[in-house]
Amino acid sequence: MRIVFMGTPEFAVPCLERLVSDGEEVVGVFTQPDKPKGRGYELSFSPVKECALKHNIPVFQPKKMKDGEALKILEELKPELNIVVAYGKILPKQILYYPEHRSVNIHASLLPAYRGAAPIQWAVLNGEKESGVTSMLMDEGLDTGDMLLSKKIPITDEMTAGELHDRLSELGAEVMSETVKAIKENSLKPQKQPETTTEYAAMLTKELCPVDFNHSASEVHNKIRGLSPWPVATARLNGKWVKIHLSRLSEKSGGKPGEVVDNDGVLTVCCGDGRCIDILCLQLEGKKKMSAKDFLLGHRIEKGTVLEKG
């Protein structure tokens, strides 16, 4: 099948790799324009562009999707199907409906839950026990198209958003491959999404980062793992800003919110419900990320020290 693939970040790469290994005819790849990166502001390729070039697939990087340039490219490529995975651009009607089999999106949630830009992180932030990937026949709404296939996986209490991202990235390739196969066999039965109000997975901002230790231990732990590896939870420790990269729920309890109740290899901090979390990895402002054990070797953090929101 002649396919145009549209994607940008690392999450989308396994899907493109799977199309190639499945023997599909990927006639072109759309990805975001190159962006300056690093101190030298040299232009860097997106992970999807690097993958496409590795497989000698033509790459297209239109700045806009509504000015006719993208449609002209599609008319030259003549795809039978568009596969869209975290592309980062809204597709106009003429792009969505151009191929014979329209456009299929691979979305990292169990729709209709967590429509939007950051479904992986919000599932962890909200303490969900499972997530998954859904393939969807795209329409002009925001992740509102008919559902095609889905697969789910559990979210463990210790899983970070980064770890869930990697699991769902690989699962997405499986869902996409099965969806393409079913399209070719004409065996899909699209299902309309329920007309229910679901939580929207808005883009993450650094305004989410400060940890309020007045919240329960579960809420604090979910925030830390949901914001890892970006934008990372933050607090104030002895007046200095610190990033908290990794935590776990502790067996210890007692103390006031934010109070360090143990400093033996980890920083055990009490939360608003009287339960504690163990901080396992942190980063002082201007310093490198390190384990709590290594951090405590170089920084004297007394019991009774209070971490503040920051």
**Confidence class of residue 195 from pLDDT cuts 50, 70 and 90?**
confident
Q: What is the mean pLDDT of residues 117-128?
A: 97
DSSP for 225-268, please give it.
HHTTTTT-EEEEETTEEEEEEEEEEEEEE-S-TTBEEE-SSSEE
Asked whether residue 51 carries a pLDDT value surpassing 90, the answer given is yes
Please tell me the distance from the alpha carbon of residue 270 to that of residue 306, in angstroms, as a whole number.
9
Cα of first residue to Cα of last residue in the chain, in angstroms, is 52
Whether the CB-CB separation of 29 and 6 falls below 8 Å is answered with: yes
pLDDT at 247: 98
Selection from 181, 228, 226, 172 nearest residue 12 by Cα = 172
pLDDT at 70: 96
pLDDT higher for 86 or 40?
Answer: 86
Asked whether residue 256 carries a pLDDT value surpassing 80, the answer given is yes
**Confidence class of residue 198 from pLDDT cuts 50, 70 and 90?**
confident
Asked whether residue 295 carries a pLDDT value surpassing 90, the answer given is yes
Whether the CB-CB separation of 248 and 237 falls below 8 Å is answered with: no
Q: What is the mean pLDDT of residues 104-110?
A: 98
Q: What is the mean pLDDT of residues 28-33?
A: 98
Kindly give, in sequence order, each residue whose CB lies less than 8 Å from that of residue 274, ignoring residues fewer than 6 positions away.
253, 254, 255
Q: Where are the domains of the chain?
A: 2-200, 206-309
pLDDT at 310: 81
Q: What is the mean pLDDT of residues 139-161?
A: 97
pLDDT at 170: 98
**Phi then psi dihedrals of residue 171, to 5 deg:** -65, -35
The structure tokens 């033996």 sit at 264
pTM of the model: 0.96
Selection from 234, 250, 236, 244 nearest residue 305 by Cα = 236
pLDDT at 217: 98
Domains 2-200 and 206-309 share a fold: no
**Confidence class of residue 54 from pLDDT cuts 50, 70 and 90?**
very high
CATH topology of domain 206-309: Methionyl-tRNA Fmet Formyltransferase; Chain A, domain 2 (3.10.25)
CA distances 218 to 23, 178, 185, 235, Å, are 45, 36, 46, 17
**Confidence class of residue 43 from pLDDT cuts 50, 70 and 90?**
confident
pLDDT at 39: 72
Asked whether residue 196 carries a pLDDT value surpassing 80, the answer given is no
pLDDT higher for 53 or 200?
Answer: 53
The CATH class of the 2-200 domain is alpha beta
Question: How many helices and strands in the chain, by DSSP H and E?
Answer: 8, 18
CA distances 75 to 72, 94, 131, 235, Å, are 5, 11, 37, 52
Kindly give, in sequence order, each residue whose CB lies less than 8 Å from that of residue 47, ignoring residues fewer than 6 positions away.
8, 9, 10, 12, 13
Please tell me the distance from the alpha carbon of residue 48 to that of residue 35, in angstroms, as a whole number.
13
- Please state at what angle helix 13-21 crosses helix 161-185, rounded to 10 degrees: 30
